[in-house]
Structure 1
Amino acid sequence: MKIRIKGNSVRFRLTQSEVKQLSETGSVMETTEFEQTTFVYEVQLEPTITELQASFFENTIIMKVPKDMGIHWFDSDTVGFENRVVLTNGNQLHLLLEKDFTCLENTSEDQSDNYPNPKLQC
């Protein structure tokens, strides 16, 4: 799982096996260790919501996906989900959850579990 954060935008990208795990078990989690703490990022299926939501607490970002959408995501052609959450201060938090496609250019990153890039198909 990869995350990209820029300003008030958070994007998660999941490999095929991670999307399958999310669909089957209801969650997928990754950690990044630092000297003093561990940063956790997780995607969870949530039965009580209708749009993407996110929270940040105790060094953990949790992106919540409506369960009705997430349990069928692995078997569908849906690339991802998006939502703009209006915060209590009036600002917006842009959330994006996507399937991770292989890069079009060479990279040293292991992409063996990524989805085939649709731009490579004739």
Structure 2
Amino acid sequence: MKLRIRGNSVRLRLTRSEVEAFGKTGSVVEQTHFAAGGVMEYGLEAVADLAACTATFDGRAIRVLAPKPAVERWVNSDDVAVATSAAGTQDGHALTVLIEKDFACLTERPGEDDSDAYPHPHPDEC
């Protein structure tokens, strides 16, 4: 799972096996290990009674929550993403949350393994 944070947006990109595991268990978690023993966790969880995607941060982990019906549709279809563009935060800022299927890169990148990525839908458009 890839995590991208830019400004007030959080984006998760899941490979085919991660989407499959998420569909079976309702959650997927990843960790990043830093120097001096620091560990940051980030994950995705399906929640039955949630109206829109949201994210929380407790100083050690980012937890993205998504409405179970929306992510079940996403897992079982060709839909590329589940998004919420204006989830409110405690201080009134808007937080954009996007959950996507991870597509293979159009340009080969040394050190990147795209073998579990979804085939790019438009490989001839670059």
The TM-score, its normalising length taken from structure 2, stands at 0.90
Q: Does 1:62 align with 2:63?
A: yes
Amino acid at match of 1:119: H
Structure 1 Cα separation of the partners of residues 119 and 40 of structure 2: 29
- List alignment gaps of at least 5 residues for structure 1: none
Say if 1:16 and 1:74, in contact at 8 Å, map to a contact too.
no
Superposition RMSD on alpha carbons, in Å? 1.5
Deviations along 1:81-103, one digit per CA (max 9) or x if unpaired, are 11121223221111111000001
TM-score, length-scaled by structure 1: 0.92
Identity of aligned residues (%): 39
* Structure 2: runs of 5 or more not aligned: none
How many residues are aligned here? 122
Q: What residue is the counterpart of 2:12 in the other structure? A: 12
* Aligned with 1:117 (options 111, 114, 120): 120
Instruction: Confirm or deny: 8 A CA contact 1:42 1:63 kept in the other structure.
Output: yes
2:91 partner letter: N
Kept in 1: contact 2:19–2:101 (CA 8 A)? yes
Runs of 4+ displaced beyond 6 Å: none
- SS state of the match for residue 70, structure 1? helix
SS of corresponding position for 1:72: helix
